[in-house]
């Protein structure tokens, strides 16, 4: 009987330990999620701070930031260049895209086109 008692005790100890371990794991997962959430908040704030700095001091920044602001400026210039290519490829200058839109699909269309280039709907004059 003593053997069975001990066996029972050992088993419940094992179960207890396993339960505590899984509780620890769940607790750790919760804590890690909370840490990750705070880290995201910091990243958001850093990004805001960086944007503010670039907008206010991009042209007159601390020398230690010159390389980073130059990178941003290069990327902004590249984006402008790529957007110009997009406009050139669909044959519609950006300025003309703001006026008329297709009543069927909402695509911006050139003022004088008879059909929507996106959905083919006939356009009123
Ligand atoms: Zn359309």
Residue 1 has pLDDT above 80, yes or no: no
DSSP 122: B
C-alpha 109 to ligand 1 mean position (Å): 8
Is there a domain that residue 25 lies in? yes
Residue 98 has pLDDT above 80, yes or no: no
C-alpha 112 to ligand 1 mean position (Å): 14
Is there a domain that residue 52 lies in? yes
Tokens read off for 45: 């704030």
Classify residue 97 as exposed, middle or buried by CB count within 10 Å of its CB (0-12, 13-18, 19+): middle
What's the average model confidence in pLDDT over 91-101? 61
| pLDDT at residue 95, rounded to an integer | 45
pTM: 0.50
C-alpha 115 to ligand 1 mean position (Å): 8
Residue 92 has pLDDT above 70, yes or no: no
C-alpha 102 to ligand 1 mean position (Å): 5
Name the residue range of residue 16's domain.
Answer: 2-57
Residue 2 has pLDDT above 70, yes or no: no
Is there a domain that residue 41 lies in? yes
Number of domains in the chain: 1
Contacts 24+ apart (CB under 8 A), 116-120: 117/90
Q: Is 13 left (phi over 0), alpha (psi -120 to 50) or beta?
A: alpha
C-alpha 21 to ligand 1 mean position (Å): 60
Is there a domain that residue 85 lies in? no
| pLDDT at residue 125, rounded to an integer | 61
């Amino acid at each position: 009987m003593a053997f069975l008692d001990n066996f029972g005790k050992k088993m419940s100890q094992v179960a207890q330990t396993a339960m505590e371990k899984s509780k620890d794991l769940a607790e750790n997962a919760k804590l890690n999620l909370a840490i990750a959430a705070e880290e995201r908040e910091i990243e958001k704030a850093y990004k805001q701070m960086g944007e503010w700095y670039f907008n206010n001091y991009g042209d007159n920044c601390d020398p230690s930031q010159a390389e980073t602001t130059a990178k941003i400026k290069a990327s902004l210039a590249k984006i402008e260049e790529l957007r110009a290519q997009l406009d050139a490829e669909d044959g519609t200058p950006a300025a003309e895209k703001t006026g008329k839109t297709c009543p069927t699909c909402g695509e911006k269309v050139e003022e004088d086109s008879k059909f929507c280039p996106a959905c083919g709907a006939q356009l009123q004059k």
